Every structure is written in C-alpha cells, then in structure tokens.
Amino acid sequence: MARTALVTGGTRGIGRAISLALKAKGYNVAANYGGNDAAAKAFADETGISVFKFDVADYDAVGAGLKEIEASVGPVDIVVNNAGITRDAPFHKMTRDQWREVIDVDLTSAFNVTRQVWDGMRERNFGRVINISSINGQKGQFTQANYSAAKAGLIGFTRALAYEGAKKGITSNAVAPGYIDTEMLQAVKPEVLEGIIATIPVGRLGKAEEIASICVYLASDEAAFINGATMTVNGAQYIAS
C-alpha cells in the first residue's frame, strides 16, 4: 500500500513543489496550509491533492488536523515540516511578537506535528521526518535573529530525533535551502535581492523543484542510511561544514 506523506505549508511555494513531487512518486499526499484558502483551493482543484487547514503553531489544532488526515488519507509515514514565515527586523527593533511568531511557526510547529505522528511511526517501524531549515539557520542573517534561531533549532531537533528514531526505522534529516524563487522572497526588497543573487556562485535563485527532489529522495527506502544529515541546497552560496 502506498505510504502517506504530510507536507506542512504544502499548497504554495517550496511545499507545493514537494507535494507534487511526492504525488508523482505514488505517495498519498496531504497538504496542510495556514490561511490562504484561495491558493489552497486552486492547488487542490489543479492537483487533486487533499488540503487541510490548520495552524501548525497550535498543538491541539495540529492534533485535530492529523485525525482528519488519518481518517481520509492514512496514517502519516512521512512528514515534511515545511511551513514557515519570516518577520524580519533589526534586532534593536525586533518585538516580542516578531520573535514569538517565528519561533512558533518555524520551530515549535515541528514539535507539534512530529510529536503527534511519532508514536505511529514507531509502531509501524518506519518513518521519515524531513525538516526544512534554511541557509540563514546555518550562517545567520541580518534582521533575522528570530528566523535564524528557529532554523538552526530545526537542525538540532533533526539530529536528536535521528538518534531516537534509528532503531525504529525512522530517519530524520534537514534540508537547508538557499534563496529559492517563491512568494516568501517577495518580502525582500528588489535591490536587496539583486545583492543576494550576486553572492550566489551559480548566479541565480534556486527553484522549488530543486528542494522537492531531495525531499523525495530522503523519503525513499533507498535513503534509510541517511539519518541526522543537513542537506545544503544553495548553489554554493554557503558551504557549511
């Protein structure tokens, strides 16, 4: 029977590409989203992938969403913790709300979702946890103390789970994208973006599909021995050790 994959933030941007790539490989896919109903409906109509609206920052809302997913798509074997937001500000102006929102949506979400599918993965002796981190969690970034902290936190989370899941057939890996051409980058001023592209040796932004393909590989049986890794996908912009 085909395995079930949940992609958080799976209706737009990188998540959308991951949902599509997993579906193309034969997985049953559930795509979560947070609030953009129009985009989610268009995505569902176009792709036939089931969409589930819940706030990944809210543990109980995640639990209710997972119940629905389990009933209509199947128990989750593969989770891609992809939903994320930015609330950039120089640290001397960063508010508690900007800090908290990003930590909740970009980091605590991974606990909220993974914790509630973990027992099932352990029982079935199979699981794939894929956490979408960021180049800016690896190297830090101006105006992103909140985001860099959350994304670096995801890497630590990934490593700890790798140890804990190993004997139960569960792998946990992080993917750290560089700058990828999605709506998230629309928050970046064009002149700043031009400056960023100038620092990418490949000379362009990444494509969402280039992140999706590594996620598909990490989800596969062939990737069973890759556990606790951070896959850097950034056009050589930052080569992490």
Q: Tell me the catalytic residues.
A: 147
Burial label, 136 (beta-carbon count in 10 A; 0-12, 13-18, 19+): buried
Strand partners, 7: 31, 80
Q: Is 210 in the site for ligand NDP (CB under 6 A)?
A: no
| Interacting residues of 99 by C-beta distance below 8 A, sequence separation 6+ | 145, 146
Distance CA(162)–CA(184), nearest Å, equals: 29
Query: Does residue 39 touch ligand NDP according to CB under 6 A?
Result: yes
Task: Pick one of 3, 55, 107, 157: the residue that binds ligand NDP (CB under 6 A).
Answer: 55
Note whether 165 binds ligand NDP by CB under 6 A.
Answer: no
Instruction: Decide: is 33 part of the binding site for ligand NDP (CB under 6 A).
Output: yes
Q: Rule CB under 6 A: choose which of 6, 28, 34, 161 binds ligand NDP.
A: 34
CB 10 within 8 A of CB 80: yes
Contact between 13 and ligand NDP by CB under 6 A: the answer reads yes
Helices and strands in the chain: count of H runs, count of E runs: 9, 7
Q: Contact, 179 vs 205, CB < 8 A?
A: yes
φ and ψ of 238, to 5 deg: -145, 120
Residues 134-153 that bind ligand NDP (CB under 6 A): 134
Which lies closer to ligand NDP via its Cβ, residue 14 or residue 76? 14
Q: Is 83 in the site for ligand NDP (CB under 6 A)?
A: yes
Tokens of 107: 């980091």
How far apart (Å, rounded) are the C-alpha atoms in residues 5 and 165? 17
H or E segment to which residue 48 belongs: none
Binding-site member from 23, 25, 36, 89 for ligand NDP (CB under 6 A):
36
Instruction: Please measure the distance between the N-terminal and C-terminal CA atoms of the chain and give it in whole angstroms.
Output: 39
Reported as half-sphere exposure (CB side, CA atoms, 13 A), residue 63 has a value of 5
Q: What residues from 176 to 195 belong to the interface with ligand NDP (CB under 6 A)?
A: 177, 179-180, 182-185
Q: Which is nearer to ligand NDP, 20 or 83 (CB)?
A: 83
- Count of residues touching ligand NDP (by CB under 6 A): 30
| Interface map 90-129 toward ligand NDP (x if CB under 6 A) | ---------------x------------------------
- Assess 15 for contact with ligand NDP (CB under 6 A): yes
Positions in the binding site for ligand NDP (CB under 6 A): 8-9, 11-15, 32-36, 39, 55-57, 82-85, 105, 132, 134, 177, 179-180, 182-185
